[in-house]
Amino acid sequence: MKMKFTEYNSTETNLKGIKDNNGKIVIEPKYHFFYGQFRVNFIACDHNSNSVFLDNKNKVLQTLSNNYTISDFNNGISVVTNNSKYGIINYKGSWIVEPIYDYIAKFTHKYFVVGNDDKWAIIDAKGKFLYDFSFDYISRIKDNLYLSSSSGGMLVNKSGIVIEHLEYVEIRHYNTRPANAFAVKKDEMWALADKNLKPITDFIYRSLQHNNGNQIAAENEKDLWGFIDSKGKIKIPFMYEFARPFSYGVAVVRINELWGAINTKNEYVVDPKYDNIEGGGRDLRGIMDGCSFNLFLKDEEYIEYLIRD
């Protein structure tokens, strides 16, 4: 008969232990809770908030101090961080990847993204490098990963296979409406691209920024900012010294060295009179002559309130 295990509480201490299906105590009740059970192995939290890996003989296999954070286990392994370095551990408490890297995140159940010293790589679930630290940039593009360096990059699918080599040093995915847009970078300049990552504009933008909605904040070759849609059509002329992306239908802009805010029709909802504007969308704060003003949205206009110390 297959052995089954059940968590139970001590009536005296209210601490938790493990019994088998015959009622025999397997793990003494001295833990605050169990947050992992894998066949005949367990992970418990002790009185010091340490993570304790145990087998069904009550043997401690590994103890991680409370400065470690364990993510959800997938296929018996988990990404672990001590808030400075990342590693990968299995349910038995054995390190698959020692916590020596600046960043690790799951790509699929088979592959992980690893970052270290501003370089990026992909490893498999056994810690073996699929692609080494030769990439300066990495991003998720739909179900794929894009890894690139100064000479271009490659699109890697969920199976870890390179499906396309591209000349871009960076790709961004924008959730624009009604259709998503992509921004691609080459030779320090940006263009918009279609869903197949083919450019639909020339590489004429120094910067492309997006938050939500259909309009993308763009900086042209003359260092002026305006807004374009996901097809590259100009929606708001390039007339601003700086523009932040739209948030809740409002974009903060600078013109003649003063800050204001506009709506999607390029109408001022906050006149350009401030030395700076902090925040975005419905939560704005204007700075003028050393004073701060909360700007509250009412009937599609912002009302100014002086903040007093």
pLDDT in tens, 20-52: 988 999 999 999 999 877 778 999 999 999 999
How, if at all, do strands 162-166 and 152-156 pair?
Answer: antiparallel
Is 70 exceeded by the pLDDT of residue 215? yes
Q: Would you say residue 26 lies in a domain?
A: yes
Is 60 exceeded by the pLDDT of residue 260? yes
Contacts of 60 (CB under 8 A, 6+ apart): 52, 53, 54
Cis peptide before 272 (omega within 30 of 0): no
CA 136 to CA 153: how far, in whole Å?
A: 10
- pTM reported for the whole predicted model: 0.81
Is 70 exceeded by the pLDDT of residue 234? yes
Instruction: Decide which of 107 and 304 is more confident.
Output: 107
Is 90 exceeded by the pLDDT of residue 298? no
**Cβ count near 231 (within 10 Å):** 13
Q: Would you say residue 8 lies in a domain?
A: yes
User: In the structure encoding, which two tokens stand for residue 280, read together?
Assistant: 């975005």
Is 80 exceeded by the pLDDT of residue 14? yes
Q: Would you say residue 186 lies in a domain?
A: no
- Once rounded to an integer, what is the mean pLDDT over residues 140-145? 91
Angle at 184 between CA 181 and CA 188, to 5 degrees: 145
Q: Would you say residue 13 lies in a domain?
A: yes
Q: Would you say residue 42 lies in a domain?
A: yes
Is 90 exceeded by the pLDDT of residue 174? no
Q: Would you say residue 12 lies in a domain?
A: yes
Q: How confident is the model at residue 306 (pLDDT cuts 50, 70, 90)?
A: confident
CA 181 to chain centre: 19
Mean pLDDT over each residue of the chain, to the nearest integer: 92
Q: How many domains does the chain have?
A: 1
How, if at all, do strands 129-135 and 119-124 pair?
Answer: antiparallel
User: In the structure encoding, which two tokens stand for residue 114, read together?
Assistant: 């690893």
- Whole-Å CA distances, 223 to 205, 207, 211, 227: 9, 9, 20, 13
- Once rounded to an integer, what is the mean pLDDT over residues 90-117? 96
CA 89 to CA 101: how far, in whole Å?
A: 13
Q: Would you say residue 24 lies in a domain?
A: yes
CA 114 to CA 123: how far, in whole Å?
A: 7
Is 90 exceeded by the pLDDT of residue 98? yes
Look at residues 260, 153, 245, 254 and name the one whose alpha carbon lies nearest to residue 208: 245
- Once rounded to an integer, what is the mean pLDDT over residues 213-224? 94
Instruction: Decide which of 219 and 3 is more confident.
Output: 219
Which residues form the domain of 21?
1-66
In single-letter form, the type of residue at position 86 comes to Y
Q: Would you say residue 37 lies in a domain?
A: yes
Torsion, CA 216, CA 220, CA 225, CA 230, rounded to 10: -10
Is 70 exceeded by the pLDDT of residue 138? yes
Q: How confident is the model at residue 300 (pLDDT cuts 50, 70, 90)?
A: low
Is 80 exceeded by the pLDDT of residue 6? yes
